[in-house]
Amino acid sequence: MNQREKEQYLREYAILKSQGKPFFPYAVAKDSAMAAIVLVVIIVLSIVLGAEMGPKADPTTTTYVPRPEWYFFFLFELLRVIKPPQFVPLATIGVPTICMILLFLLPFYDRSPERRPERRPIATAAGIFTIAAMAFLTYLGASAGSPNEIDMKPPAGLKGAALGEWNRGKLVAAQSGCLACHKIGENGNDGPGPHLTNIGSVLPESAIAQTLRNPTAPMPSFQTLAETQPQKFQALVSFLGQLR
C-alpha cells in the first residue's frame, strides 16, 4: 500500500465508522450472546464427555500410546508424511518454523490494498490449502491407531527358553508404544521411525540396545527400563535382534 492508498483507506474507513453503531450495546449484545453459547458448549461437553484418566505415569513400563492432544495431530502426522529420517528435523521443526515465520510476517509481504477474498486469489487459495492440509493431517492422525499387539509367528527352529524369551520380547515391544512410530511386519504405523521388520540384519543387538538407551529424537529413551527391569529390556533387544 502506498501513501495514497493508505489515506484513501483511512478516509473510507472513517465514513463507514461514522455510519456504524456504538459498540455498547449493539456489539456487546452479540458478544454476550456468543459468550453464552460458548459457555453452554463447554458445559455440555464436560457433562457428556467428562474427564477420564489413564493409568498413572510410569517411566519403566509400557502400555502407553504417545498421543498428543488432537490439535497437535497434524504436527505428528507431518513426521509420518515426510519420510526419510534425515528429513525428520525438517518435518518436526523446519516446516512449523517456516509456517510461523510466514504467519508473523504476513502483513509485511502481503501489502496490496485489496481486502476482498475473491480478489486476492493467491492469499485465499493459500489459506484454503493450509486449512485443507491441516484438516487432512488431523484426520490421518485421528484414524491412525496405535496397536498394542504384534501379530507375528516366531522364527522357525526357535524352541524352549529362546522361544519364551522371544515371546516376552514381543510383548514388551507391543506394549511399549514402538508401534506408534515403527512398523514391525504387518503391525504398526509407517513412520516417523524406520521399519523394524528386518532390524536384526541391519543392526547388531548391541547397537539396538544402544539406540534404545540413547536414541535420536523424537524417539523416547528407554534407559529407565534398562536400569529398572534389565530382563525385560534384554528380552526386547533379543526380540528385535531376531527380526531378520
Partner 1 sequence: MARLKLPVPPVPPALKPRPARPGTGNGRVGPLDQAAEAGITVVDWIDERTSLSGGLRWMLFRKVPKGTNWFYTLGSAAMFAFLSQAVTGVFLAMYYDPSPTHAYESIRYVTNEAFLGEFVRGMHKWGSTVMVILVFLHMGRTFFWGAYKYPRELNWVIGVVLLIMTMTMSFTGYLLPFDQRSYWATIVGVNINGTGPLIGPYLSDFLRAGPEFGATTLSRFYAIHMMLVPGLIAALIGAHLYLVAKLGTTAPPWIKAKPDERLTESEV
Residues in the site for ligand HEC, rule: CB under 6 A? 66, 85, 88, 173, 176-178, 180-182, 192-194, 196, 199, 202, 208, 211-212, 215-216, 218-220, 222, 240
Residue identified by cell 508404544 is 177
The answer to whether residue 121 forms part of the interface with partner 1 (CB under 8 A) is no
From the list 60, 84, 85, 100, which residue makes contact with partner 1 (rule: CB under 8 A)? 100
DSSP-derived 3-state class of residue 183: strand
The answer to whether residue 113 forms part of the interface with partner 1 (CB under 8 A) is yes
The answer to whether residue 58 forms part of the interface with partner 1 (CB under 8 A) is yes
Instruction: Tell me the CA distances in angstroms from 162 to 24, 112, 145, one per residue in order.
Output: 78, 71, 31
From the list 83, 85, 93, 230, which residue makes contact with partner 1 (rule: CB under 8 A)? 93
Closest CA to 12 of 122, 115, 107: 115
From the list 35, 125, 132, 142, which residue makes contact with partner 1 (rule: CB under 8 A)? 35
Closest CA to 206 of 169, 165, 238, 171: 238
Name which of partner 1, ligand HEC, none residue 202 binds, using a CB cut-off of 5 to 8 Å depending on partner kind. Answer: ligand HEC
The answer to whether residue 136 forms part of the interface with partner 1 (CB under 8 A) is no
Instruction: Tell me the CA distances in angstroms from 69 to 74, 201, 236, one per residue in order.
Output: 10, 36, 29
Name which of ligand HEC, partner 1, none residue 161 binds, using a CB cut-off of 5 to 8 Å depending on partner kind. Answer: none
The answer to whether residue 18 forms part of the interface with partner 1 (CB under 8 A) is yes
- Determine the Cα angle at 125 with ends 124 and 129, to 5°: 120
- Cell output for 169: 520380547
